[in-house]
Amino acid sequence: MTDAPLPPVSPQPAALARQLRRLATLPSPPWLHGEVARRLADKLGPIRIEPAHWVDWSAWLGEGVSPVAARYPDARRWVIEPTPALTTRSTEAWQASHASPWWARWRRTTPPVATMGDPHPEGWPADGVQMVWANMTLHAAADLPGLLAHWHGLLDTNGFLMCSGLGPDTARELRDLYRALGWPLPTVDFIDMHDLGDELVKAGFQDPVMDMERLTLTWPDAEAMLAELRTWGGNVAVGRHAGLRTPRWRARLLEALHTHCRRPDGRLGLTLELVYGHALKPLPRPRLAAETRVSLDDMKRMVRHVGDKG
């Protein structure tokens, strides 16, 4: 029995892995990711939970350390990266920020950085963290339900998730252009905020709060536009064009972009939709039956919760 084929607009795991390896070689994280991190951090204001520990997921690309540390200066940060190459970049960034003089090298500690699937770093809280921060990651997941379940497992009871990614209106002008030219679509099918809310509930989260905003980004020419789009990640859709493109095709694309995406001010523009999600991990609620099995960890959480309320 074979797995059902993926829809053409789904992320292809192998292509996504290649793009993540390429992004890990950028000289610095994408400008857009840092901007979205600041916008996501603004949504922490009404949240009353004060994390003692938090996970910075895909931290090097996500650019979340500064805005989150400003909000929770006393919380301990743990980094989990999706690939070994990004783990290396986060480790290097941590070492650079914790550099000590030659006479104090003995004081250096092991970076709290791990790769997805590896054992947790030394000192990891036994019950999990109080916040998972995952900026600009929703559109870069080959298995979003599995990823949400993984984030759920990292959290302690009453911990919360903060996540963001690109929404379905992103680059709609580019998709319209490709469709008019008869080319395969240039992007994956970005998740709608309502569908994200449904997926969060399926993964075991509670009280999801969804939000979105649309922006317009502009560039002086098509070359500058394409160069920046590459820093966000390339086209990883299953149904993308197979094989390499020719210089003649690229010249045709540049000409079409200058015509189709030209704004009244002369600059080229693309729509950007940002999707934000926030949700809590509730107390485990086992289904009651003639015989109900509860894991030891969940039982401990339930007992501790009752003790906290007494």
What digits encode the pLDDT tens for the residues 59-98?
A: 999 999 999 999 999 999 999 999 999 999 999 999 888 7
What's the mean per-residue pLDDT of the chain? 89
Q: Is residue 53 part of a domain?
A: yes
State the pLDDT at residue 92: 94
Q: Is residue 263 part of a domain?
A: no
Q: Which domain holds residue 73?
A: 13-167+190-215+275-283+291-309
Q: Is residue 37 part of a domain?
A: yes
State the pLDDT at residue 185: 87
Q: Is residue 251 part of a domain?
A: no
State the pLDDT at residue 6: 77
Tokens of 104: 């104090």
Number of domains, the chain: 1
Q: Is residue 210 part of a domain?
A: yes
- Here the CATH number for the domain that contains residue 81 is 3.40.50.150
Q: Would you place residue 9 in the very low, low, confident or very high pLDDT band (cuts 50, 70, 90)?
A: confident
Say which range, 146-155, 195-204, 214-223, 279-288, has the weakest mean pLDDT. 279-288
State the pLDDT at residue 218: 98
Q: Is residue 253 part of a domain?
A: no
Mean of the pLDDT values across residues 18-26? 96
Instruction: Give the integer Cα–Cα distance in Å for 36 and 274.
Output: 8
Helix or strand (DSSP H, E) at 77: strand 76-81
Q: Which of 265, 237, 248 is nearest to 174 (CA)?
A: 237
Does position 2 have pLDDT exceeding 60, yes or no? no
Digit-coded pLDDT (tens) for 252-298: 999 999 999 999 999 999 999 999 999 999 987 665 555 545 555 65
Q: Is residue 124 part of a domain?
A: yes
Mean of the pLDDT values across residues 129-133? 98
Instruction: Give the integer Cα–Cα distance in Å for 269 and 228.
Output: 12
Q: Is residue 98 part of a domain?
A: yes
Helix or strand (DSSP H, E) at 247: helix 247-260
Q: Which of 186, 250, 185 is nearest to 223 (CA)?
A: 250
